[in-house]
Amino acid sequence: MTGTDRLPSAILGASGYIGQHFARLLADHPLFEPPLLLGGERSEGQRLDELWQLVEEPPAELTREHFRRLSPAQLQRAGVRIVFGALPSGLAGAVEAECRRRGIHVFTNAADHRMDPDVPLLVPEVNAAHLRALAAGSRHRALLVTNPNCTATGLVLALAPVWTLLRPEAVHVTTFQALSGAGFPGVASLSITDNVVPYIPHEEEKVSAESNRILGTARNGRIRPTRVPFVANCARVAVRDGHLEAVTVVSRRRPSTADLRKAWTAFDPLRRVELPTAPHPPIEVRSQMDRPQPARDRWAGRPDRARGMAAVVGRVRWDPPYLRFFVLSHNAVRGGAGGSVLNAELAAALGLLSQGERGPS
Amino acid sequence: MTGTDRLPSAILGASGYIGQHFARLLADHPLFEPPLLLGGERSEGQRLDELWQLVEEPPAELTREHFRRLSPAQLQRAGVRIVFGALPSGLAGAVEAECRRRGIHVFTNAADHRMDPDVPLLVPEVNAAHLRALAAGSRHRALLVTNPNCTATGLVLALAPVWTLLRPEAVHVTTFQALSGAGFPGVASLSITDNVVPYIPHEEEKVSAESNRILGTARNGRIRPTRVPFVANCARVAVRDGHLEAVTVVSRRRPSTADLRKAWTAFDPLRRVELPTAPHPPIEVRSQMDRPQPARDRWAGRPDRARGMAAVVGRVRWDPPYLRFFVLSHNAVRGGAGGSVLNAELAAALGLLSQGERGPS
Amino acid sequence: MTGTDRLPSAILGASGYIGQHFARLLADHPLFEPPLLLGGERSEGQRLDELWQLVEEPPAELTREHFRRLSPAQLQRAGVRIVFGALPSGLAGAVEAECRRRGIHVFTNAADHRMDPDVPLLVPEVNAAHLRALAAGSRHRALLVTNPNCTATGLVLALAPVWTLLRPEAVHVTTFQALSGAGFPGVASLSITDNVVPYIPHEEEKVSAESNRILGTARNGRIRPTRVPFVANCARVAVRDGHLEAVTVVSRRRPSTADLRKAWTAFDPLRRVELPTAPHPPIEVRSQMDRPQPARDRWAGRPDRARGMAAVVGRVRWDPPYLRFFVLSHNAVRGGAGGSVLNAELAAALGLLSQGERGPS
Amino acid sequence: MTGTDRLPSAILGASGYIGQHFARLLADHPLFEPPLLLGGERSEGQRLDELWQLVEEPPAELTREHFRRLSPAQLQRAGVRIVFGALPSGLAGAVEAECRRRGIHVFTNAADHRMDPDVPLLVPEVNAAHLRALAAGSRHRALLVTNPNCTATGLVLALAPVWTLLRPEAVHVTTFQALSGAGFPGVASLSITDNVVPYIPHEEEKVSAESNRILGTARNGRIRPTRVPFVANCARVAVRDGHLEAVTVVSRRRPSTADLRKAWTAFDPLRRVELPTAPHPPIEVRSQMDRPQPARDRWAGRPDRARGMAAVVGRVRWDPPYLRFFVLSHNAVRGGAGGSVLNAELAAALGLLSQGERGPS
């Protein structure tokens, strides 16, 4: 696939917070055509810039595009080959399944299909093998690939490089989650100004189930999750973007501090694959005592197209059996729209996006 | 001791954040005379209301009092019988020791003497026995009693009622600490607006060492600390007052949920002692899913004089062996000035404040 | 009227932000019985503490009361003699008119009737004469009295004492308005964190029209508004409670600074009337250079029942013809529920609340 | 001057907040060599990245540069031809004068020389003529040029295009100023969280005096300030960057709304001069009702090198004689370091930077 035959694309739920991040990332993407913006009753007919909510600038290429209401059947007829999913969980599942049925690839941030046995829950640097394994045995005409919950994303990225070194007995994680994780309007300002809210519905359960699935192994076309307790406490803080997580791994092994550090700094499994949105390195380790910080580190990631895609690790303290550190990642980019874009890039690089091309039978 | 012969008192470091909370709490105290306000070079001669930093009103009784610079010798000559310590740790130690040497009781928030073998590190509801044990064997003419670090205070209060039920293998704690924990000027607004800072110097070490000491047992005039790992991650958030802590206890035992809840709600070891600043109950358990919250729960504590003295526990989740909950306490009241005032009230109730009365030999 | 025959009361829209402030203020009021809590479809049957949104404690007397849905006719049959209005403007007007028609007095925060020629727009310290004048000529069986917009309230309180001294040519006002002014959920946290929003719908028009009406004169049963330009710029800031206003009066006269200051400090027109919620003094003038501040001054007002009812004036600068100052008042108390409670107290003191007693004819 | 003979440069006070913005802007500047970083006792010998305070990334070209302590004499010997001033006002004046005496051009953000009769107080789009006029008659070997106070900068930019259309009788301005205006550590977080502080020392006086000077006319080598009252109320809000100002102009004339709008949108006096840091257009007019906002508009300015250099105007309301609008500009970029860099670029374009080349006589 070359830049000259980019895949026709669309964004499901383009008017929401994650949908707009998709628009920002896909406006000038080398593999995908500028996306159709799909909205609901309220956004139909309006222009992207009229409903723009992010503090980042709306993408020049799409600013004057209008939201449309199109069914999966209409998308199929319009020749759309790939959709990016930003519909609210609950609403998303049926639409996504229907798209797949019609031969349209789906890469989605919604939670509905994350635990389906035949759907990859994918973080390319961590479990690319899951994509290969599940795609190989798939009976579907098109791919349906999910990215994990924003909190699980940063967590598994930070854990993956040290996972086998530590063979964890348990992982304790407490989160400082950003406002944009709840989208827009999301958290009321009176709820969070001068405050912390120690509860995010279903978040702790998702972190545990999804992390175990992602860190699991693919065998015979099935994913066998790990069975490590992820003991989570999730809270919301008055920060715009960037989920910070305090992680303590209870380790079964005792690697040296140098080995741990090297595991993180040398980690770059995608270095030989050319994925436009992949950050190199995917994990940035800070040496300052007081990092990572949301305000300073949320946009980590190089090159420019990968801004907000790197996880930032800092304050590493290793008192065996306890490894403690903080990790930060941009919840709406790495843990949202950017995650699914990267997933689609990986699928393209593996040649998996041509399988839907046959069109309707 | 009656209200008519209240003890002459003074506040060391009365111009700082904790010092002003002492002034607020002691202005009309039934056991202690309105305190002398002791300051340094910069505050000497100024009036309390001129340097007032709290958003709470300055106490009417002291508003027009001036800061003075007095040595321990001068305090002794002035007849001061008890001082409350709000000097910065590092500076405080020598002054406090000199006061004790001169027969002036010291109740302090400073860290310098917290680990001295003969100094009680006291939270009355948790380890009143330590005070009795160490006072009994003391060779000093007066008491020197410390209250713990603001983070450890809320933590041990929440743990004490369930400690023997759980016989913990480890305690994991991640903190969301308020700005006032750093005093004034403390944290720069540019450091924390739209941000979290995952580092507070020495905090994690203090939480671990102090919690083990407080939860330890007194035997033969010595304190034997527990040896439970307190695995701490401490961070600063943009909240004015109230330290929130996410706690996970790894339990050796499996009590019922009902037993755990009852342990907390029935906990009130001071119910029969009349201490003016003691909250009843000392632990308030919230049933709402999203509590405790700093903005709503920081002033918990009844009666009125005990506002800000109760610890608030919520979001209790018990998946053996993991007990998870959040606890909140007002760092500058319960975890600061109020803690030491309560300590002094306990000492008074135990008749220990008369021992310094003999004056200089 | 004595405490033993308090008027049966109710709160329209008791589940909202202003409604809950009414509940707080009326729970143990000497003139009114603890109010019925009236709600809509969503709140009906729930308990006050289940829907409590304020950071202040819910009132013990009402915590377990349930929200009810009652029509004005049902309120009348239930013997309710006075309702306090906290319904959203737009919804409120018809319900309030129907209550009045049925002989139930209405004291409301809603905007719908504020400009009705026969309805007092009342701030007791400023234009008590309007209440007397309009009540005298009223053809209604009961009173309907409105309190002004939260921004206008603080403004006219600060202007009233100096109004004739200055005979203003124009008043310029720029506001720093608190989040609670938009109620709950109100302003999205993503809209305001690390931000200011320089627009509040209809606010500038209200400030101008309402201020002119309040400062106008009553003659022959009609209000003649002043015709001073109120040039307003209204913005929202990330503050929980307390509207701050920067005011510049362009003066036609040149009083001395001492006269201006005295006008404010001596101002207390209600000093001889016993209104439980009236602050004495109604204007507190701060001498510190950096006051008033929302965090420190929002709860100004003595005695205790009048907390949040005083306006705080500071940073007075008089460079004729420009008088500049800042004024702060609690938007939800003085500028909301408290304003209407005070209005009702004034009406009671003037003997105007007995007129509805005849009941339905 | 071409890119190949860029002027050797240095930053006075490079470790502070404005100093670091200078470093960011000058690291790869086409007209100036990467600057020497000058610091004081505390920063000497440290690396830029060790003391970096901005949330923006430190410039790759300078990250590992060390701070040095060099006198003006040493700078002269080192061949430095231009210094950018970010020392605190008060300290800056003498050093800057000494640099000029030694033939080193000075472009400074410090206030000390802003009112010197022979020193241009320069905003290139507004009063380039002042630079030409004062440079022509100068008796100095080198230029000393100041940029105005951060608040005055945005204000005069917004006023300049409509100044003659309106012939203002008075200008009322109330500010919502960002935290970074006070540098680092600057405003204590406890002072501003959930708060507004209605006082910034000397700010109101500066806004008035500087605006009148900048908008004045140059004649016979002297600047004749305008004499329009600037009636200012300045306050600090909890926003990281970007000063928002509510402006009301009392107009003597009555242009049409279309003429006013056109005056702003057509304004680009530097369009034909090639200044790398000049934004085109210098004023961006927003049509949305709720703009400008600090979080969304602080980085306005095109092309990329001019990010943060444009002033953003919005909420224009014209009720003659009152023109009301809000203007926002980045206080540390347009109103600080960027302002002086642009001034130096203008001086270079006018050929004024060669005059110091003769070196010491």
Task: Indicate yes or no: CB of A315 within 8 angstroms of CB of B199.
Answer: yes
Q: What is the set of active-site residues of A? A: 150, 243
**D17 has a pLDDT exceeding 50:** yes
Q: Please report, rounded to a whole number, the percentage of residues in chain D having pLDDT higher than 70.
A: 97
CATH number at residue B175: 3.30.360.10
Task: Indicate yes or no: CB of C295 within 8 angstroms of CB of B193.
Answer: no
| Nearest CA distance, C50 vs chain B (angstrom) | 9
Using 50, 70 and 90 to split pLDDT, how confident is the model at D63?
very high
Q: Please report, rounded to a whole number, the percentage of residues in chain C having pLDDT higher than 70.
A: 97
Which DSSP string do the residues of A103-115 spell out, in sequence order? T-EEEE--STTTT
Using 50, 70 and 90 to split pLDDT, how confident is the model at A358?
very low
C171 forms beta bridges with C230, C249
What lies within 8 Å, CB to CB, of C349 at 6+ separation is: C273, C274, C275
Q: What is the pLDDT of residue A355?
A: 52
Tens-digit pLDDT profile for residues C161-215: 999 999 999 999 999 999 999 999 999 999 999 999 999 999 999 999 999 999 9
Range of the domain at A9: 3-148+337-358
Residues of A in contact with C179 (CB under 8 A): 189-190, 193
Other chains touching A, judged by 3 or more CB pairs under 8 Å:
B, C, D
State yes or no: is B99 an active-site residue.
no
Same domain, D32 and D143: yes
The residue with tokens 């009784």 is B61
* Helix residue ranges, H only, chain C: 17-26, 72-77, 92-101, 124-136, 150-159, 163-166, 189-192, 203-214, 257-265, 294-297, 338-349
- Our count of domains for chain A comes to 2
Here the tokens at position B28 are 């009309």
- D231, D235, D324 member nearest C248 (Cβ): D231
Beta strands in chain D (DSSP E): 9-12, 36-38, 82-85, 105-108, 144-146, 170-177, 217-219, 222-224, 230-236, 243-250, 283-285, 311-319, 322-329
Average model confidence (pLDDT) for chain C? 95
DSSP structural state of residue C242: -
Q: What is the ipTM of this complex?
A: 0.96
| Nearest CA distance, B314 vs chain A (angstrom) | 9
Residues of C in contact with A239 (CB under 8 A): 193
**A286 has a pLDDT exceeding 50:** yes
Q: What is the pLDDT of residue B1?
A: 43
Tens-digit pLDDT profile for residues C300-354: 999 999 999 999 999 999 999 999 999 999 999 999 999 999 999 999 999 999 8
Q: How many A-C residue pairs are in contact by the CB < 8 A criterion? A: 60
Same domain, A13 and A157: no
- B55, B193, B194 member nearest C295 (Cβ): B55
Chain D residues whose C-beta is within 8 A of a chain B C-beta are 17, 53, 179-180, 184-194, 238-240
- C179, C189, C240 member nearest A187 (Cβ): C189
Same domain, A59 and A85: yes
Other chains touching C, judged by 3 or more CB pairs under 8 Å:
A, B, D
Q: Please report, rounded to a whole number, the percentage of residues in chain D having pLDDT higher than 90.
A: 95
| Site from B187, B189, B237 to mutate, D interface, most D CB atoms within 10 angstroms | B189
Tens-digit pLDDT profile for residues B67-110: 999 999 999 999 999 999 999 999 999 999 999 999 999 999 99
* DSSP reduced 3-state for D235: strand
Other chains touching B, judged by 3 or more CB pairs under 8 Å:
A, C, D
Using 50, 70 and 90 to split pLDDT, how confident is the model at B220?
confident
Same domain, C219 and C77: no
Using 50, 70 and 90 to split pLDDT, how confident is the model at A1?
very low
For residue D54, the chain B residue with the least C-alpha distance is B190
Using 50, 70 and 90 to split pLDDT, how confident is the model at A37?
very high
CATH number at residue D25: 3.40.50.720
Q: What is the pLDDT of residue A5?
A: 85
Tens-digit pLDDT profile for residues C164-176: 999 999 999 999 9
State yes or no: is C243 an active-site residue.
yes
Q: What is the set of active-site residues of D? A: 150, 243
Which DSSP string do the residues of D340-355 spell out, in sequence order? HHHHHHHHHHTTGGGG
**C60 has a pLDDT exceeding 90:** yes
For residue B316, the chain A residue with the least C-alpha distance is A233
- B17, B179, B190 member nearest D240 (Cβ): B190
Q: How many A-D residue pairs are in contact by the CB < 8 A criterion? A: 9
Same domain, C253 and C307: yes
Same domain, C244 and C136: no
Residues of A in contact with C192 (CB under 8 A): 189, 193
Comparing A114 with C220, the larger pLDDT belongs to A114
For residue C56, the chain B residue with the least C-alpha distance is B296
For residue A185, the chain C residue with the least C-alpha distance is C188
- C180, C191, C194 member nearest A190 (Cβ): C180
Q: Please report, rounded to a whole number, the percentage of residues in chain B having pLDDT higher than 90.
A: 95
| Nearest CA distance, C25 vs chain B (angstrom) | 18
Same domain, D115 and D157: no
| Nearest CA distance, D188 vs chain A (angstrom) | 15
**B227 has a pLDDT exceeding 80:** yes
C170 forms beta bridges with C250
Task: Indicate yes or no: CB of D55 within 8 angstroms of CB of A193.
Answer: no
DSSP structural state of residue C286: P
Which DSSP string do the residues of B287-327 spell out, in sequence order? -STT---HHHHTT--SSGGGTT-SEEEEEEEEETTEEEEEE
| Site from B190, B196, B237, B331 to mutate, D interface, most D CB atoms within 10 angstroms | B190
Tens-digit pLDDT profile for residues C136-165: 989 999 999 999 999 999 999 999 999 999
Tens-digit pLDDT profile for residues A203-254: 999 999 999 999 999 988 899 999 999 999 999 999 999 999 999 999 999 9
For residue D322, the chain C residue with the least C-alpha distance is C231
Residues of B in contact with A151 (CB under 8 A): none
Tens-digit pLDDT profile for residues C255-309: 999 999 999 999 999 999 999 999 999 999 999 999 999 999 999 999 999 999 9
Distance CA D224, CA D205 (A): 18
Same domain, B240 and B263: yes
Q: What is the pLDDT of residue D354?
A: 83
Task: Indicate yes or no: CB of D195 within 8 angstroms of CB of C239.
Answer: yes
Return the H-helix or E-strand segment holding A204.
helix A203-214
**B250 has a pLDDT exceeding 90:** yes
| Site from C51, C177, C190, C194 to mutate, A interface, most A CB atoms within 10 angstroms | C190
Q: How far is CA B53 from CA B184, D188, D190, D200, in A?
A: 8, 11, 9, 18
Same domain, C161 and C303: yes
Using 50, 70 and 90 to split pLDDT, how confident is the model at C360?
very low
Which DSSP string do the residues of C345-358 spell out, in sequence order? HHHHHTTGGGGGGG
Task: Indicate yes or no: CB of C189 within 8 angstroms of CB of A188.
Answer: yes
**C4 has a pLDDT exceeding 70:** no
Residue from D185, D188, D209, D206 nearest D197 by CA? D188
User: What mean pLDDT do residues D220-249 have?
Assistant: 97
User: What mean pLDDT do residues A165-173 have?
Assistant: 98
Neighbours of C345 (CB within 10 A): 24
Same domain, A237 and A277: yes
- D193, D231, D237 member nearest C237 (Cβ): D237
Instruction: Identify whether the C-beta of residue B36 lies closer than 8 Å to the C-beta of residue B12.
Output: no
Return the H-helix or E-strand segment holding D261.
helix D257-265
**A20 has a pLDDT exceeding 60:** yes
Distance CA B295, CA B308 (A): 12
* DSSP reduced 3-state for C66: strand
Average model confidence (pLDDT) for chain D? 95
Same domain, A309 and A183: yes
Same domain, A156 and A284: yes
For residue B238, the chain A residue with the least C-alpha distance is A194
Tens-digit pLDDT profile for residues A98-135: 999 999 999 999 999 999 999 999 999 999 999 999 99
Using 50, 70 and 90 to split pLDDT, how confident is the model at A4?
low
Q: What is the pLDDT of residue A3?
A: 43
- D176, D233, D289 member nearest C196 (Cβ): D176
Q: What is the pLDDT of residue B3?
A: 43
**B4 has a pLDDT exceeding 70:** no
**D359 has a pLDDT exceeding 70:** no
